[in-house]
Amino acid sequence: MADVAVSKSVGSQGSAQGLTGSLWTISWRNVFRNKRRTWLTVAAIVFGCFLVSGMRSYQAGMYKQLLEISTEQYPGHADVIHVDYENDQKLEQTVRGATELMRSIEANPDVVGVAPRVMTSSLFSQGEKSYGGMMIGVDFDREALLFNFFARLAEGVLPVDRNEVVIGKVMARNLDIGLGDDVVVLGSQKEGGVAALVLKVSGIFSSGNQDYDRSFAFARLPTVREAYGLGDEVNALTLRLTDIYDVDRVVSQIAAEVPDNVSVRGWREIVPETYQAIRLDDLAGQATLVLITVLVLFSIANTFSMMVLERTREFGMLLALGMRPWAIIRQVQIEGMVICLIAVTIATILNTALVYIGLVVGIPVPPEINETFGDFYFMFPERFYPAFSWEGLLLGPVVFFLGIQFAALIGALKILWLKPVTALRSD
């Protein structure tokens, strides 16, 4: 077989120089001399490209959705707080001049909107039962435009009257109260007095976050401000951005314009547990993909090594005809390039199609996941969708194209030590 291939090449070119000049033609012919091996190699490359590009696209989409879910419910993409509030959440640590600061921040084209909040620890009572929690005053109209936290009301409606409140389902269960019941709220005013409120439960929310459902109660912002003696001050301004991944740049812009006693935080500082979970999962995913990529490339390098061994006699004839060893190695690399071009073309088409289908239909999230984990942090979406980007889709093909050139080189290096006489004697 090798003799036939070489004789054809010699007949068509007539010299070693001609052989060298038609490496692409020879390589294309050689690639399909063993169709089974070629297509198995192509399948391995397609699989590797799918893992690197396809799965990374789905991972990126999943991470973005989880970030959106964890930040859009309540924490926000970024916030503005007193520099000491994060470590010592006292009521008096407020953001002064919040109204003017809101206007300044909303003028930033990368900011969708700002929601003011007052947050203070309080005691909630009903009859003989008492429960510690967080009394939060919000502008419900702004909150509804920016975040979806209150879209998950399990019962009732949002407060319309100044003396109404919505509480979490766990707090409602612990206090044994329901819609229409009164709850007494006690706390400390900014100047040291006692804040006392009697609020009617207008709604009960179920956020999917056990901590929120256990501890949070929301009333209208003027009601909380008046009861706790805050005037027009707030504890925090919560921001929604146009692009959650652009948070570092936007935070830097806003931080340059706020007073020295005010801190601007991005979602990495606001929800560090989400950031760390995604970061660790991403690192684990990258390590897994690197390992699989190395194994696939090692297998392909082994394939090329076997191919060189099987064609020892053929390469010996080429060396005897005057072809230099590095020219033969380049031929083997071109054969690898031909296989890789076929594989990455197929892989790119398949990955693009799979990502497009994923963008349309998504990947269903089993309900068992929310039943198991939803109450501990947040509810997962019904479906995950990939993040489409040509950069992500081309990552796998580029990695494997370069990797296979290296694998082919490693597999073909033994040609350097091949002696024509010894090669021609091999069976």
DSSP designation for 322: T
Q: Are 400 and 60 in contact (CB under 8 A)?
A: no
Q: In whole angstroms, what is the distance from residue 296 CA to residue 308 CA?
A: 19
| 112: nearest Cα among 244, 213, 279 | 244
According to the model, what pLDDT value does residue 15 have? 43
DSSP letters along 132-151, please? Answer: EEEEEEE-HHHHHHH--GGG
User: CA triplet 421, 423, 427: central angle to 5 degrees?
Assistant: 125
According to the model, what pLDDT value does residue 7 have? 42
According to the model, what pLDDT value does residue 13 have? 38
Helix, strand, or coil (residue 185): strand
Q: In whole angstroms, what is the distance from residue 55 CA to residue 387 CA?
A: 10
Q: In whole angstroms, what is the distance from residue 211 CA to residue 133 CA?
A: 10
According to the model, what pLDDT value does residue 12 have? 36
Domain ranges of the chain: 2-69+275-425, 76-268
Q: In whole angstroms, what is the distance from residue 159 CA to residue 136 CA?
A: 13
pTM higher than 0.85, yes or no?
no
Amino acid at 275: Y
According to the model, what pLDDT value does residue 77 have? 92
DSSP letters along 343-377, please? Answer: HHHHHHHHHHHHHHHHHHH-EEPPHHHIIIIITTS
Q: What is the pLDDT along the chain (427 residues), one digit of tens a residue?
A: 444 444 444 443 334 444 444 666 777 777 777 788 888 888 888 888 887 777 778 888 888 888 887 787 788 899 999 888 877 777 778 888 888 899 999 999 999 999 999 999 999 998 888 889 999 999 999 988 888 888 778 899 999 999 999 999 999 999 999 999 999 999 988 877 889 999 999 999 988 778 888 999 999 999 999 999 888 889 899 999 999 889 999 999 999 888 888 899 999 888 888 888 888 888 888 888 788 888 887 887 777 777 777 777 777 787 787 778 787 788 888 888 888 888 888 888 888 888 888 888 877 777 666 555 555 455 567 777 787 777 677 777 888 888 877 877 777 777 777 776 665 666 5
Residue with tokens 């269903």: 364
| Contacts of range 186-189, beta carbons closer than 8 Å, 24 or more positions apart | 186/122, 186/123, 186/125, 187/91, 187/120, 187/121, 187/122, 187/123, 187/135, 187/227, 187/228, 188/91, 188/120, 188/228, 189/91, 189/227, 189/228, 189/229
